A = this chain, B = another copy of it.
Amino acid sequence: MTAKTVLIVDDEAAIREMIAVALEMADYRVLEADNAQAAHALIVDEQPDLLLLDWMMPGTNGIELARRLKHEEATSELPIILLTAKSEEDNKILGLEAGADDYITKPFSPRELVARLRAVLRRTTPRGIEEAVEVEGLLLDPASHRVSSNGQALEIGPTEYRLLQFFMTHQERVYTRGQLLDQVWGGNVYVEERTVDVHIRRLRKALGEPHQHLIQTVRGTGYRFSTQL
């Protein structure tokens, strides 16, 4: 299992440090940010798997950031756990409305934190990230990082693998080249949109005749993974 990346956003370095240590002990990869802007930049660049967000921060506060992230296509799926010093019900409601997936009130024990974090990841991690996905004999198994067609292993490059993984976990939906770049290549890369075409072609080629039709061109828009013709 590849280590999950968690981004901690809190303005107090001491708290970040405390959490970071706890998470690293639990084998997570940890990123830190002390304000909303830096956090946003890191999210775009590093695509963390989960966000630990302090509710009260100078400048753009936690709720604000959460709301913004849920609003943007590329980050709307990112699970968020809010941290707060106050245990008021109000905050909880506001937080959940803003799109937080869970909520922890300070003070909390590292054990508790890790436990809830694990729980959130478990229920928000879509199939295909850890579990295998299978469609019409085409099997993608994240554990072994392999793709096979009716049991026969396929030769597939890293980018094509990520592209296929994204598609198989987001079926029946069109994505523009731009969205694919965001989701598969990662936020801050600067790559020609047409490059997507080339990788689509490589992916199709790798899938071979029997599964070609799953990767569909939507003229004037982008591409789609679909079992329907």
Q: Taking beta carbons and an 8 Å cutoff, which residues of A are in contact with B?
A: 35, 37-38, 40-41, 44, 59-60, 68, 70-77, 96-102, 112, 115-116, 118-119, 122-124, 126-127, 143-146, 148, 153, 157-158, 172-174, 178-179, 181-182, 187-193, 218-221, 224, 226, 228-229
Once the chains bind, are B144 and A72 in contact (CB under 8 Å)?
no
Question: Cα distance A73–B44 when bound, in Å?
Answer: 23
Question: Could you tell me if B224 and A115 are in contact, using CB atoms closer than 8 angstroms?
Answer: no
Closest B residue by C-beta to A115: B190
Contact A190 B127, beta carbon cutoff 8 Å: no
- Which residues of chain B have C-beta atoms less than 8 A from A100's C-beta? 37
Q: State A212–B82 Cα separation when bound (angstroms).
A: 43
Residue pair B144, A172 in contact (C-beta under 8 Å): yes
Chain B residues with CB under 8 Å of A118's CB are 178, 193
A158 touches B60 (CB 8 A): no
Residues of B within 8 A of A102 (CB): 188
Residues of B within 8 A of A70 (CB): 37, 59-60
By the criterion CB–CB under 8 Å, are A41 and B101 in contact?
A: yes
Total copies of this chain within the assembly: 2
B228 & A145 in contact (Cβ 8 Å cutoff): no
Q: With A96-B41, A97-B38, A188-B102 in contact, do A145 and B119 touch (Cβ < 8 Å)?
A: no
Q: How far is the CB of A51 from chain B (nearest CB, A)?
A: 14
The listed residue (B73, B99, B153) touching A123 by CB distance below 8 A is B73
12 new A-B contacts, CB < 8 A, other than A35-B97, A146-B224, are A37-B99, A38-B97, A60-B76, A71-B127, A76-B127, A115-B190, A118-B178, A119-B182, A122-B181, A123-B182, A144-B173, A145-B174
* A101 x B40 contact (CB < 8 A): yes
Q: List 24 A-B contacts (CB under 8 A).
A: A37-B70, A37-B97, A38-B96, A38-B97, A40-B101, A44-B123, A59-B70, A59-B71, A72-B123, A73-B127, A115-B192, A118-B178, A118-B193, A119-B182, A122-B181, A123-B187, A143-B172, A144-B172, A145-B218, A145-B221, A148-B228, A153-B228, A157-B219, A158-B221
